[in-house]
Structure 1
Amino acid sequence: MGFFRDLSKQAKRMSSDEEFLGFIKVIESLVSKILSLAMVAVILVSVVDLIVYLWQDLFFQPPVGFFSTTVIKIFGFFLNILIALELLENITAYLKNHAVQVELVIITSLVAVARKIIILDLEKVDGIELIGLAIAILALSISFMIVRFINKRSRDEH
């Protein structure tokens, strides 16, 4: 019975808006920290995977040029790590400021679309997909310019 009484007291304390918002901030912070640790693990595993892949390709494959796999595939691995680093930057920026930084999110999206274009196999893609990628790049670029302009203007005013 003591457990339910304590739980009831806790619930009553949480009924005030300030207490509840404080609880939500604690949960947000905890989730952000867990996501940061998970992203660090993903980045480290990706870097090890890239090193193993390059090692095997350089020393254990019969030589066909410098790399037996295409350089484009290797670029894809590097860009995956770069995107993961950008996501980690987004999470840590959230931890610092407790706000999503739209400019960082747009940059991360641009890097992801750039990765898609760099590794794109033009023989397997139709025109609609290319048009879609072009529209995505245009929309993200315009969004970035708008956010950059607004951020610059607000910094100049202060």
Structure 2
Amino acid sequence: MKRMFKDENFLRFIHLVENIVSKILSIALIVVIGVSIFDLMIVLCKDLFTTEPFGFFDKTLLELFGLFLNILIALELLENITAYLRKHIVQVELVVVTALIAVARKIIIFDPAKYEKSDIIALAVAALALAISYLLIRLSNRIFP
């Protein structure tokens, strides 16, 4: 028992737990992506082929774009997890890109009737902050490879 709590053994145990959790999260995210794609296909088929007039969307295009962007965000999250499994470090650049996509999604599907003007300003500030963060990360990766 005492041997298990030695630093090296304990860190090996922590590393094993991190790997198991990352793999479970990856599998769960793959299921979520699959279900999301299936849901998107159902919505597209229903809107295109069962509602009048045929070939037009009952839902607004912005809602459909939101569904597409949800899948893109899930793929980015999966990329974050797999990058962690490969290198065992959190890649800040991927995290910032994922956050930027999420904020962009909110801006794209923003409904001014539901929210205040301050909400769109907050989204714009968040997008600007993330874009600057991304730029700084890219520049620092060039300077300090």
Short-chain TM bin: over 0.9
- Give me the whole-angstrom Cα distance separating, in 2, the residues matched to 1:66 and 1:154: 51
Indicate whether 1:101 and 2:91 are aligned: yes
Q: Which residue of 2 aligns with 1:66?
A: 56
Q: Which residue of 1 aligns with 2:7?
A: 17
Q: Which residue of 2 aligns with 1:34?
A: 24
Paired residue for 1:143, among 127, 133, 136? Answer: 133
Tell which deviates more after alignment, 33-42 or 115-124. Answer: 115-124
Q: How big is the shift at 1:64?
A: 7.3
Q: How many residues align?
A: 145
Q: How big is the shift at 1:125?
A: 2.1
Runs (4+) of structure 1 exceeding 4 A deviation are none
On the 8 A contact 2:84/2:91 being kept in 1, the answer is yes
Q: Which residue of 2 aligns with 1:110?
A: 100
| Aligned sequence identity (%) | 57
On the 8 A contact 2:47/2:58 being kept in 1, the answer is yes
Paired residue for 1:44, among 34, 53, 58? Answer: 34
Q: Which residue of 2 aligns with 1:89?
A: 79
- Give me the whole-angstrom Cα distance separating, in 2, the residues matched to 1:44 and 1:13: 44
Amino acid at match of 1:30: I
Cα-to-partner distance string for 1:18-56 (whole Å, 9 max, x where unaligned): 000000000000000000000000000000010011111
Structure 2, unaligned runs of 5 or more: none
Tell which deviates more after alignment, 98-107 or 146-155. Answer: 146-155
Q: Which residue of 2 aligns with 1:75?
A: 65
Q: How big is the shift at 1:101?
A: 0.2
Q: Which has the higher helix share?
A: 1
Cα-to-partner distance string for 1:69-104 (whole Å, 9 max, x where unaligned): 111111000000000000000000000010000000
Tell me the SS of whatever aligns to 1:12: coil
- Give me the whole-angstrom Cα distance separating, in 1, the residues matched to 2:103 and 2:54: 30
- Give me the whole-angstrom Cα distance separating, in 1, the residues matched to 2:142 and 2:83: 18
Q: How big is the shift at 1:128?
A: 1.2
Q: How big is the shift at 1:153?
A: 1.1
Per the normalisation by structure 1, the TM-score is 0.88
Q: Which residue of 2 aligns with 1:133?
A: 123
Structure 1, unaligned runs of 5 or more: 1-10
